[in-house]
Chain A
């Protein structure tokens, strides 16, 4: 919890207002991305760029790309956001999850130096429990909070896997632990995070 949280008064009310505001913020990213597809409004794109491009650059850098490449791929990823905005579906993912997958795919292509090919998945059957846009945002918010509460050794393997793109074997070598321990830590982390995901149902 932040140290600058006001003391006294109704702390819970203050917290829930802060939560609401954070949620609205993120609500905006998914809503803005959806509207970008419809309006092709460059001001909307610029606001998405301001928020996501520096995060993408940080992510790509941690994946091990040299700084100049990270800069270039971050810009390329934002161009993909512009090009592919019509493919974003707020019922399936939040804006940051969708943008994460775009950047991840670009990085994989870079590393393999191969022509980018995407395998389009079959259209899903209409899901009676389809989540609406707001739900994804709440879930993501919860997931972020839950990540912060993971034990250090689980957070560590999560970061090495997602931020640094290390394989299970590479993580095992780096930490000097058996492959099985890497996987069981990841599984434990996933099941904790999934518990938050499932709470809505």
Chain B
């Protein structure tokens, strides 16, 4: 995979500090799955957390805390947390998303939004929205701006906008006043995962598409 667009530092710091909404965290995990460059950068962002933990003003635990934990060590059976291994399946999805969807992109119940556009709402909790969007070749999404942060991960196909060409594995990490007009630039559908942290209304790429059609 030839990745040329990565996350903003601030996004990786938010992921490292655990402060991203669930959908954005899922999207970041998907790109990390594909991108050694961002994994290295994440290690740096996590090291900030390690340094901050080491220098925090400690807070005493209850007097019997050590004893009660030590007592539990003996009772501990190996109950490992479920680990989602990056198995190579027939899917072209990154493991975290595949784990969530349990199927591949071709077998999803896509809903039509408008001319050349289909979507699926992942219905994740927390602020913002997380959706899969499928845009047909040649379809251009109108100029739009973002309120809050909006992350887009290209899963299949590609599009071109003012910032360049985005193909599978690339992320667009946009916020605030950004204006762009993506157009699907091959004869293949462009499928992307989009996550926002805007709490109240849909904005950005999704908003422009979704609002006129479902009247949100």
| Chain A residues within 8 Å of B, Cβ to Cβ | 26, 42, 45-46, 49-50, 52-59, 61-62, 70-71, 74-75, 78-79, 82-83, 92-94, 96-101, 103-105, 107-108, 112, 115-122, 124-125, 136, 139-140, 143-144, 147, 158-159, 161-163, 165-170, 178-180, 182-184, 186-187, 190-191, 193-194, 197
Asked if B148 contacts A165 (CB within 8 A), the reply is: no
Q: Is B89 an interface residue (CB 8 A)?
A: no
Asked if A93 contacts B66 (CB within 8 A), the reply is: no
Asked if A118 contacts B55 (CB within 8 A), the reply is: no
* Chain A positions within 8 Å of B90 at CB level: none
Q: With A58-B56, A97-B49, A118-B83 in contact, is A161–B19 under 8 Å at CB?
A: yes
* Given contact pairs A83-B80, A96-B51, A103-B53, a sample of 6 additional A-B residue pairs in the complex whose CB atoms are under 8 Å apart: A96-B54, A119-B96, A120-B84, A140-B50, A147-B52, A165-B19
* Chain B positions within 8 Å of A93 at CB level: 43, 46-47, 50
Chain B contact residues (Cβ within 8 angstroms of A): what range? 35 or more
What total of A-B pairs shows CB separation below 8 Å? 212
* Chain A positions within 8 Å of B43 at CB level: 92-93
B72 closest partner in A (C-beta): A79
Q: Is B107 an interface residue (CB 8 A)?
A: no
* Chain B positions within 8 Å of A96 at CB level: 50-51, 53-54
Give the distance to chain A from B110, nearest Cβ to Cβ, in Å.
25
Asked if A168 contacts B10 (CB within 8 A), the reply is: yes
Q: With A179-B176, A190-B13 in contact, is A105–B18 under 8 Å at CB?
A: yes
Q: Per-position contact with A for B24-47: 1 when CB-CB < 8 Å, else 0? A: 010001001100100100011111
